[in-house]
Amino acid sequence: MATRTGSARPGRRTRRPGAWLGWLFAAPAAIMYAVFVLRPLLLTVQYSFYDWNGIGASTWVGLQNYTRLFTEPEQLATILHAFELILFFSLIPVTLGLFVAATIRGIATSRLALVARTVLFLPQVIPLVAAGIMWTWLLSTTGLANELLSAVGLQGVTRAWLGDFSTALPAVGVIGAWVLVGLCTLLLLAGMSKIDPALYESARLDGAGPIREFFAITLPSLRQEIGVCVTVTVIAALASFDIVYIATQGGPGNSTMVPGLEIFYLAFSEREVGQASALAVVLVLLVLVCVLPIQRFTRDGNR
């Protein structure tokens, strides 16, 4: 807090003579934001109170679209699927990222660390659509995943991972985990690099092993970075669309239908723009409800 007010004060003093000048510089960005972010947001809220097919005349239906969301089991199921995806999009990448980052830090000087970092970050550079297509090949009946399983004598387990009711959602989750592990690793690695080495040194002098070191120093120091990772990945899970669309399009039989995809189908295939908007509004609220506590928790603990 102290630094924030300190830097703001000189700014305020110089701003007095021409406050409007500052706004002039901010105007292009502000206008863009208003037109492309705020306006659609508000229009979505407005549409959610109408029964509208996107072209013809619309009728005001009040909260009917919202009540339908909670009375139709099919639409509720999509929200449950999104929460199941949090396990894969968030829990796995963050824990795995912590483990990998700690390992990489341990071997920081070797060339292997650089290679590992590059390989892990690669999914961030590849377009998600390409990654999705690649994974559908890997997970098909004749794909690499099944061939590896057969090679080690697990023929009984092989299946069409994305076409099977029991495995489709976890399979989509694995793709998401693969995409997000690299991002989490890199963020956490950056966080680790700013931890004071003296802390580790004194811990070691006190006789702490690497595991004790990790839980006593690394983990608490990374509170903020973990907060960022969890926030980003939880949003990715709740708002997932592209990976699911490429891999399964919601199938088989709605078993991988997530809110993002359901909104798309409602708006463009069923042409119920009002219903789609209502689900979109609920999704935004849901993301806020999940993410705000995480933000609070990770920030308060540190300051």
Binding residues (CB under 8 A) for another protein: these are: 23, 30, 34, 38-39, 42-43, 46-47, 50-58, 60, 136, 139-141, 159-165, 248-254, 265, 268-273
**Residue 81 near residue 221 (C-beta atoms within 8 A):** no
Nearest approach in angstroms of CB 167 to another protein is 10
Distances (CA, A) of 207 to 76, 198, 203, 204: 52, 14, 6, 5
Nearest approach in angstroms of CB 162 to another protein is 5
Nearest approach in angstroms of CB 252 to another protein is 4
Please say which residue, 160 or 216, places its beta carbon nearer to another protein.
160
In Å, how far from its chain's centre is CA 148?
Answer: 29
Please say which residue, 146 or 231, places its beta carbon nearer to another protein.
146
Please say which residue, 140 or 295, places its beta carbon nearer to another protein.
140
Nearest in space to 192 (alpha carbons), one of 146, 141, 226, 235: 226
The number of beta carbons lying within 10 Å of the beta carbon of residue 134 is: 15
Please say which residue, 51 or 213, places its beta carbon nearer to another protein.
51
H or E, element range at 290: helix 273-300
* Encoded amino acid at 140, one letter: S
Residues 6+ apart with CB under 8 A from 32: none
Side-chain half-sphere exposure of 53, counting CA atoms within 13 A: 5
Q: In whole angstroms, give the CA distance from residue 61 to residue 52.
A: 10
Nearest approach in angstroms of CB 8 to another protein is 9
Nearest approach in angstroms of CB 142 to another protein is 9
**Residue 149 near residue 157 (C-beta atoms within 8 A):** yes
Please say which residue, 197 or 253, places its beta carbon nearer to another protein.
253
Please say which residue, 135 or 178, places its beta carbon nearer to another protein.
135
Q: 59 in helix, strand or coil? A: strand
Please say which residue, 29 or 152, places its beta carbon nearer to another protein.
29
**Residue 176 near residue 232 (C-beta atoms within 8 A):** no
Please say which residue, 46 or 193, places its beta carbon nearer to another protein.
46
Nearest approach in angstroms of CB 289 to another protein is 22
Distances (CA, A) of 11 to 2, 24, 112, 217, 294: 15, 16, 47, 38, 32
Nearest approach in angstroms of CB 74 to another protein is 9
Nearest approach in angstroms of CB 34 to another protein is 5
Residues 6+ apart with CB under 8 A from 58: 50, 51, 52, 274
